[in-house]
Amino acid sequence: MFHCHRGADDRNGPFAIDTLEREKKAKDIADHEEDIMYSARYSDDFHEYRHVNLPREIGTLLMHVYVCTMLTAFCSFCAGVLARWVPQGRLMTEQEWRGLGVKQSPGWYHYMLHAPEPHILLFKRDK
């Protein structure tokens, strides 16, 4: 059985990621880095944009995802393999998103959160 935890978010505390969590994060990244999907670039007069999809878990989690979305706005378990490492409620620094295995040329920055799909990262850079 899967459980959502909403109370205090351990990832934001002073002991944010203990050794076991670091090992799990490194394994997740190594196992799924090649599954990261990059959109084609699109632009307006001032910026170039793209979105990056971090891999998601599927199959047996479908019921959990349905139940979880009825109970809470975000569950790190159903959000996806790499998406569980995305900080909640704030944009990531370049060091953070590169630390998840995202590979892009210099100049891109994480500019927007899309709460319904935390596994999708929205990037832009100046033209």
CATH number of the structural domain spanning residue 54: 3.30.170.10
- Decide if 3 is inside a domain: no
Supply the pLDDT for residue 89.
81
- Decide if 39 is inside a domain: yes
- Decide if 110 is inside a domain: yes
The residue range of the domain holding 40 is 19-126
Quick count: other Cβ atoms within 10 Å of Cβ 102? 21
- Decide if 119 is inside a domain: yes
- Decide if 103 is inside a domain: yes
CA-CA-CA-CA torsion sign (14, 17, 60, 57): positive
d(CA 33, CA 50): 18
pTM score over 0.85: no
Per-residue confidence band for 24, with pLDDT thresholds at 50, 70 and 90: confident
- Decide if 49 is inside a domain: yes
Supply the pLDDT for residue 61.
34
- Decide if 71 is inside a domain: yes
The one-letter amino acid code at 7 reads G
Task: Pick 1 or 14 by higher pLDDT.
Answer: 14
Supply the pLDDT for residue 33.
84
- Decide if 11 is inside a domain: no
Q: How many separate domains does the chain show?
A: 1
Angle at 31 between CA 116 and CA 75, to 5 degrees: 25
Q: Where are the beta strands (DSSP E) in 28-119?
A: 37-38, 42-43, 47-53, 109-112
- Using a 10 angstrom Cβ sphere, with 0-12 exposed, 13-18 middle and 19 or more buried, the burial of residue 83 is buried
